[in-house]
């Protein structure tokens, strides 16, 4: 078969004889050329699309990396601020602990309780792993762990000091209570002992009689004072005693202050050692201004002179 080609601008025609090999190759090339051009165009289009997709993906990655970097930076700033706050807190706790130790040591020394149990100058025994120094370039997490450990140690120190101070407070309170309720001293601000405890000559009958207390004579109006802290259980008149104040000091001890002119306390009042509770008078069975003073233990009269002249704790 022969193919005749007639180009528009060329007057001469071309004839292809399909029976010849060269002409067959040319014909096949002419037939495959559109497919080759189409495939090339499709490949080029795909390449452009792929490049565009890779560019978009790269941009997305870059944007995501930028966001992640910003988040990391923000987290580092936040952790840095928290570490700074924790560092300030640690410094404050250390300062408070130093003041607490100084106060506890001073109180224990003044109270003469420095027997080792209240040694605030010595740090409590501790243990644990060795901490790295700042020169070791600790990471943020390492620094955070170190601060947490320091805070834990400070809390332990403070708890230890609180326990020691609580025990110290109990001992001081008990000592103060013993001091306050310890019966000792004269029941008057001014005066002298005019009658002792035991048998004596009764000033009214002239007969030998028993005297349950001691008398302190003085001027009318002299202050009558409590020889120990206690609770007022009676403040008024009683037969033979005139105006009398009675104090309960606990542990079975009671004191009485009789023949008063006036009272400055009422039943139920809590009085302190040395507090004025009355003024000296001559009420009841009395020959003149004086105070009749009694000390009772479990209802039995005791010799007041043992308590008047006893040494304080």
The span from the CA of 54 to the CA of 60, in Å, is: 10
Q: Say yes or no: 58 and 80 in one domain.
A: no
**Are residues 291 and 281 in contact, defined by beta-carbon separation less than 8 angstroms?**
no
Token pair of 19 as six digits: 């029976």
* Pair of tokens at residue 308: 């008047």
Please tell me the predicted confidence (pLDDT) of residue 237. 95
Please state, in angstroms and rounded to a whole number, the distance separating the CA atoms of residues 45 and 64. 28
In a domain? residue 86? yes
Does residue 187 lie in a domain region? no
Regarding whether 87 and 57 lie in a shared domain, the answer is no
Number of domains in the chain: 3
User: 3 is written with which tokens?
Assistant: 């193919």
> Do 235 and 264 reside in the same domain of the chain?
yes
Q: What per-residue confidence (pLDDT) applies to 137?
A: 43
CATH number of the domain at 196, please: 2.70.70.10
- Taking residue 44's Cβ as centre, other Cβ atoms within 10 Å add up to 10
How many Cβ atoms from other residues are within 10 Å of residue 217's Cβ?
17
- The structure tokens listed for 280 are 């000296």
Residue 80 is assigned to a structural domain of this protein: yes
Instruction: Kindly state whether residue 94 falls inside one of the protein's structural domains.
Output: yes
Please, what is the end-to-end C-alpha distance for the chain in angstroms?
Answer: 145
238: left (phi over 0), alpha (psi -120 to 50) or beta: beta
Q: Is residue 313 part of a domain?
A: no
Asked whether 225 and 188 are in contact (CB, 8 A), the reply is yes
Please indicate, yes or no, whether residues 49 and 109 belong to a single structural domain of this protein: no
Residues 90 and 143 in one domain: yes
- Asked if residue 186 belongs to a domain, the reply is no
Q: Where is the domain boundary, 25, 42, 68?
A: 68
d(CA 302, CA 296): 5
Considering 18, 51, 68, which residue would you say is the last residue of a domain? Answer: 68
Burial 266-302 (b: 16+ CB within 10 A, else e): eeebebebebebbbbbbbbebeebbbbbbbbeeeebb
> Same domain for 175 and 211?
no
State the Cα angle at 30 between 27 and 33, rounded to 5°. Answer: 145
Query: How many Cα atoms occupy the beta-carbon half-sphere of 145 within 13 Å?
Result: 10
Out of 181, 215, 238, a domain closes at: 181
Sign of CA dihedral 82, 84, 88, 90: positive
- Within this chain, do residues 105 and 128 fall inside the same structural domain, yes or no? yes
pLDDT 10s per residue in the chain (313 long)? Answer: 555 555 555 555 555 555 555 556 666 666 667 777 777 777 766 766 666 666 676 777 777 777 777 777 777 777 777 777 777 777 777 776 676 666 666 666 655 555 555 555 555 444 545 544 445 444 545 555 666 776 777 777 777 766 766 666 666 666 666 666 788 899 999 999 999 999 988 888 888 899 999 999 999 999 999 999 999 999 999 999 999 999 999 889 999 999 999 999 999 999 999 999 999 999 999 999 999 999 999 999 999 999 998 755 5
Q: CB neighbours of 144 closer than 8 A, spacing ≥ 6?
A: 79, 82, 83, 86
Q: In terms of C-beta density within 10 A (0-12 exposed, 13-18 middle, 19 or more buried), how is residue 241 classed?
A: buried
* 3-class SS of residue 36: helix
Residue 196 shares a structural domain with residue 304: yes
- Does 165 reside within a domain? yes
CA separation for the pair 251, 294 (Å, rounded): 16
Q: 263 and 214 share a domain?
A: yes
- Give helix then strand counts, H and E, for the chain: 3, 14
Distance in angstroms (rounded) separating the CA atoms of residues 80 and 69: 16
- According to the model, what pLDDT value does residue 55 have? 66
pTM as predicted: 0.50
Residues 20, 115 within the same domain? no
218, 190 in Cβ contact below 8 A?
yes
Domain that holds residue 235: 192-308
**Is residue 203 domain-shared with residue 279, that is, in the same domain?**
yes
Whether the CA torsion 211, 215, 221, 225 is positive or negative: it is negative
Does 289 fall in a domain?
A: yes
């Amino acid at each position: 078969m022969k193919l005749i080609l007639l180009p528009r601008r060329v007057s001469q025609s071309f004839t292809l004889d399909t029976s010849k090999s060269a002409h067959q190759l040319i014909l096949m090339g002419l037939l495959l050329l559109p497919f080759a051009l189409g495939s090339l165009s499709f490949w080029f289009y795909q390449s452009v699309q792929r490049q565009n997709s890779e560019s978009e993906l790269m941009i997305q990655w870059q944007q995501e990396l930028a966001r992640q970097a910003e988040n990391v930076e923000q987290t580092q700033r936040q952790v840095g601020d928290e570490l700074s706050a924790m560092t300030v807190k640690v410094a404050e706790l250390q300062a408070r602990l130093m003041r607490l130790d100084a106060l506890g040591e001073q109180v224990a020394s003044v109270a003469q309780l420095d027997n080792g149990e209240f040694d605030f100058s010595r740090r409590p025994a501790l243990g644990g792993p060795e901490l790295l120094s700042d020169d070791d370039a600790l990471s943020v997490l390492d620094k955070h762990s170190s601060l947490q450990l320091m805070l834990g140690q400070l809390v332990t120190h403070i708890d230890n000091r609180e326990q020691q101070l609580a025990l110290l407070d109990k001992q001081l309170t008990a000592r103060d209570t013993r001091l306050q309720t310890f019966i000792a001293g004269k029941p008057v601000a001014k005066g002298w002992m005019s009658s002792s405890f035991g048998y004596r000559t009764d000033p009214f009958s002239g007969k030998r009689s028993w005297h349950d207390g001691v008398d302190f004579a003085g001027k009318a109006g002299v202050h009558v004072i409590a020889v120990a802290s206690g609770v007022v259980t009676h403040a008024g008149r009683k037969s033979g005693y005139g105006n009398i104040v009675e104090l309960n000091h606990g542990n079975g001890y009671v004191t009485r202050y009789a023949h008063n002119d006036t009272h400055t306390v009422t039943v139920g009042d809590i009085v302190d050692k040395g507090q004025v509770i009355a003024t000296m008078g001559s009420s009841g069975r009395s020959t003149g201004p004086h105070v009749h003073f009694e000390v009772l233990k479990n209802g039995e009269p005791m010799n007041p002179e043992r308590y008047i002249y006893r040494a304080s704790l």
